Amino acid sequence: MLFENFEAYDVQETRRISKAEGKAEGKAESVLELLEDLGEIPEKLKKKIMSQRDMETLKKWHKMAARAESLGQFEQAIEELATGRDTK
């Protein structure tokens, strides 16, 4: 009985994690879509965005991407966020 409960928990936890990862991936793709309008996105930046799994960070990046006038401005903004110099 205990093992069956553990299995059920494990399946639920796996689903929860998969759902969260899917949301993060979708948000990261949205950031990239916005940035594509500013030019060709460097591979290093693409990887950084796609590897981010924190939804709060991705939400901030999404807003920054929408406001950015260049890829350089976006990269500077996410660097400032990472170092604690949050830009609005």
Q: Do 36 and 66 touch, CB atoms closer than 8 A?
A: no
25-53 pLDDT, tens digit per residue, is: 999 999 999 999 999 999 999 999 999 99
Domain count of the fold of the chain: 1
Position 17 scores a pLDDT of 66
Which of 18, 86, 30 has its CA nearest to residue 59? 30
Does a structural domain hold residue 7?
yes
In the block, tokens 């950084």 appear at 48
Number of residues written out for the chain:
88
5 against 36, higher pLDDT: 36
- pLDDT > 80? residue 9: no
Q: Determine, yes or no, domain membership for 88.
A: no
Does the pLDDT at position 7 exceed 90?
A: no
Residue 87 lies in a domain: no
For residue 24, the enclosing domain spans: 2-82
- DSSP E strands, the chain: none
Q: Is residue 38 part of a domain?
A: yes
Q: Is 13 part of any domain?
A: yes
Mean pLDDT (the chain) is 85
